Amino acid sequence: MEEVFAYARGEKNLYCAVKDQKDLKDYIISTPYENIDLIPSSTLMSAVEYELFTKWQREFILRKGLKGTVEFGRYDYILIDSPPTLGGWVMNVLCASDTLVIPVGATPWGLFGLDNMFEFLEAVRPIDLEWSPDNNMPIMAYKRSSRSAKEYGALTKGIEERTRSR
C-alpha cells in the first residue's frame, strides 16, 4: 500500500498523466490481487478542472490517454471512478466510457442529483457522438435503512418516469 502512496505523491499518477496528456498505459501498476491493476490517483486531482480548462479538445483527453491501454487488449473492463460533480473531468469520463453505472442514494437529494445528471448526459450528446445515455445505463438505487423506504420508492418511481420520457 505504501508503494501506491509513493506513486500518488510522485509523477506516475493519473493527475500527471492527464495534465501532460500522456498515454495511461505507462502509468498502470500491478497490485497483489490477480487480474487487478490500477493507475494511482493523487490529491492533485482536485485541480484537474483547472488543468483541463486550457487544453484543446479537453473533453477527449482521458479517451486519448486510454487508447493505448484499450488497444493493448489486456483488460476486459476498465473501471473509472469519478466524483459526484458535473464538470470537465466527469465530461472526460463520460466521453471515454461506453457504459455508465450511477449509484444513487434513496434520498430526495439522490433524486435531485440524478435529475441533474440526466440533464448533463443530454448535454454530452452533441459533444461525443459515440456515446449516448441510452447505452446500457444501469442505475443502482440503494436504501440504507427502513426509514428511507419511502424515499427509495419515490426515487425508483422518478427514475422510471425520467427514463421513459427520454
The length of the chain is 166
How far apart CA 43 and CA 122 sit, in angstroms, is 30
In this structure, how many other beta carbons lie within 10 angstroms of the beta carbon of residue 80? Answer: 15
In this structure, how many other beta carbons lie within 10 angstroms of the beta carbon of residue 20? Answer: 10
How far apart CA 134 and CA 122 sit, in angstroms, is 10
Q: What is the pLDDT of residue 148?
A: 56
Say what the pTM is: 0.69
Identity at 74, one-letter amino acid code: R
Q: For residue range 6-30, list pLDDT tens digits in order.
A: 766 777 888 888 888 889 998 888 8
Q: Which residues are registered as beta bridge partners of 24?
A: none
136 band by pLDDT with thresholds 50, 70 and 90: very low
